[in-house]
């Protein structure tokens, strides 16, 4: 089978889009010492391994300009505190917008900052 440059370009674009697909959970990590972090993690993965989005006292869209990475892929959080609370792919295309999705806290987490639990607040399908 012979691939033309057009075929290769189309297949590459399809694979690139697939690499950006992902479902995410967003919430707050509460440490035993009382401090809290904004947290985001891939749905179905361990919430204890969240990506840090700043202190809970600041707007997560302001932390690092809203940019974060999960599974070696970069995304951007936008519209924090509004009805347009969404995740964009690194290329600026839309990934998904938040849906209310509170869950029971996930405990038993610890890192160099101490022990903590993670409370999911939103889901990005």
Q: What local confidence, expressed as pLDDT, does residue 101 receive?
A: 87
Closest residue by Cα to residue 37 from 122, 99, 124, 116:
116
Residues 10, 15, 16, 18: is their CA dihedral positive or negative? positive
Tokens (6 digits) for 34: 């009382």
**Which pairing describes strands 86-89 and 99-100: parallel, antiparallel, or unpaired?**
unpaired
The 3-state DSSP class for residue 84 equals coil
What is the pLDDT of the chain when averaged over all its residues?
85
**Residue 49 · residue 39 · CB < 8 Å:** no
Statement: residue 99 has pLDDT above 80: yes
Statement: residue 13 has pLDDT above 80: no
Unique residue bearing structure tokens 């990506």: 51
The H or E element spanning position 103 is none
Number of DSSP helices (H) and strands (E) in the chain, helices first = 1, 10
């Amino acid at each position: 089978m012979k691939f033309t440059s057009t075929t290769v370009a189309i297949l590459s674009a399809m694979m690139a889009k697939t690499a950006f697909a992902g479902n995410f959970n967003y919430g707050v990590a509460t440490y035993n010492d009382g401090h809290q972090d904004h947290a985001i993690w891939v749905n179905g993965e361990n919430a204890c391994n969240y990506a840090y989005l700043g202190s809970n006292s600041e707007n997560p869209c302001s932390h690092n300009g809203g940019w974060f990475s999960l599974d070696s892929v970069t995304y951007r959080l936008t519209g924090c505190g509004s009805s347009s609370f969404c995740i964009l792919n690194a290329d600026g295309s839309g990934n998904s917008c938040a849906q209310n999705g509170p869950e029971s806290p996930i405990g038993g987490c610890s890192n160099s900052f101490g022990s903590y639990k993670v409370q999911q607040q939103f889901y990005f399908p």
